Amino acid sequence: MSDAVSGVEEILAQWARERPDLDVSPMAVIGRLTRAASIVEAELADTFAANGLDAASFDVLATLLRSGAPHELSPKALSASAMVTSSAIAQRVNKLEDAGLVVRRRSETDGRGTVVALAEAGRRLVEQALPDHLATERRLLADLSPADQTVLAELLSRIGSPRGVAYG
């Protein structure tokens, strides 16, 4: 989607006309980020739905798969790795457990704690969805060269990080 369609350039021109005393240049970046995020979320939602998932379910299943064998994490580690709150993880795990995609069990290392483990059905589902997910991401980035993608990823890593230090 070009700026002509999204209206970012028009918005900037309108603000320049109405408030020439203000530097509205941050709106150019944030407006485009917001537009891009909406497009990405919608496209990924379609891909997940085609695989019988939603973004939250894919996130948990993929986090467990990429954690390595035995593909289980404590709820706290799952929450940190998936970058969501513990209550959000609990809701997601409940839904996935009801669907037979994950199992909860006592931790072998901490008798008082529990772990969330990827069930075989969950593993099959996330492994089925992953190639489609990556194909969607590749399609969304097709207009950017590999070098452009590297630069963009590095620049985006600076947003919200302390003093512009990229998270790694």
State the average pLDDT over residues 150-155. Answer: 96
Residue of 56, 54, 3, 60 whose CA lies nearest to 31: 3
Give me the pLDDT at residue 6, please: 59
Asked if residues 102 and 93 have their Cβ atoms less than 8 Å apart, the reply is: yes
**Which tokens hold the place of 106?**
């006592």
Asked whether the predicted pLDDT for residue 159 surpasses 50, the reply is yes
Give me the pLDDT at residue 163, please: 57
Sign of the torsion angle spanned by Cα atoms 93, 136, 168, 109: positive
- Provide the pLDDT confidence category of residue 161 given band limits of 50, 70 and 90: low
The fold adopted by the segment(s) 55-127 is: Arc Repressor Mutant, subunit A (1.10.10)
Residue 27: DSSP 8-state: H
Domain regions of the chain by residue span: 3-51+129-159, 55-127
Helices (H), 51-168: 55-66, 75-82, 86-98, 120-140, 146-158
pTM: 0.82
**Which tokens hold the place of 37?**
């995020």
Separation between Cα atoms, residue 19 and residue 72, nearest integer Å: 54
- b/e per residue 76-93 (b: at least 16 CB within 10 A): eebbebbebeeeebeebb
CA distances from 156 to 15, 96, 118 (A): 25, 31, 31
For residue 75, the SS3 value is helix
Asked whether the predicted pLDDT for residue 10 surpasses 80, the reply is yes
57-116 tens-digit pLDDT: 999 999 999 999 999 999 988 988 877 788 888 899 999 999 999 999 988 777 778 999
